[in-house]
Amino acid sequence: MFNLKNKTAIVTGSARGIGQSIAVELARHGADVVVTDIIPGQQTVKKIKALKRNSFFVKTDISKKQEIENLIKETIKKFKKIDILVNNAGIFITEPTKKVSEESWDKTIDINLKGYFLCSQTALKYMKKGSSIINISSVAGILGYAQAAAYCASKGGTRLLTKSLAAEYGPLGIRINSIHPGIIETAMTKNLLADKKTREASLAKLPLKRTGKPIDIAGAAVFLASDASSYMTGTETVIDGGWTCTL
């Protein structure tokens, strides 16, 4: 069992899906967790408190610096420190490149990339030796696929943002790693996987022949947040059912 006792964590986009699973698993291993999202996160808070850990919710749009600063301020006010930051909040818009509006492009980059940077930049002011940042990227940050230019660009940016921060903060004993999920069953992928042909085509790419669950990502996040991964920084953990190994 990984020991996160007395650790304070922030998980963005943790009202549901992968973020909720990560927040709950961090708590299961001893962490107090700040839940944050643009939608109500009280259900996640309830799950965490059922595990006898402290938790509260702060509504935050991570594309807005002022709201991020408020999130960090409230965390420090309550817990006095930040040991773990999981940048998970994100959006996925798929459309032909010729139809992508400037507004759509900016929204994707602002949330999926700029938001990760701003959360990290603000939290790092309070993080000390032994702290950990985990950025949830995607296999789309390693390989590209059609009709997802903004999403792929944002996730590829997250991959290299992670490596840049790892190089800068490694000497201070702060670790920054990324996780790259493949096809995970969440609200974000629900409509995509609802189409039988799309689902079958997706599964055909995977050696494990199944989609992933949020808990599959949460386990890796707990590992990267713990001392069990103390010699890991700047790494990319791919959790994709074997998708990328076939390419």
Catalytic (active site) residue 151: yes
Query: How far, CA to CA in Å, does 205 sit from each of 41, 87, 148, 195?
Result: 34, 27, 18, 16
Residue 56: name the closest of 9, 21, 118, 115 by CA: 9
Alpha-carbon distance 200 to 196, whole Å? Answer: 6
* Active-site residue, selected from the candidate residues 126, 151, 169, 231: 151
* DSSP state letters, 40-97: --HHHHHHHHTTT--EEEEE--TT-HHHHHHHHHHHHHHHS---EEEE---------G
The catalytic site residues sit at 151
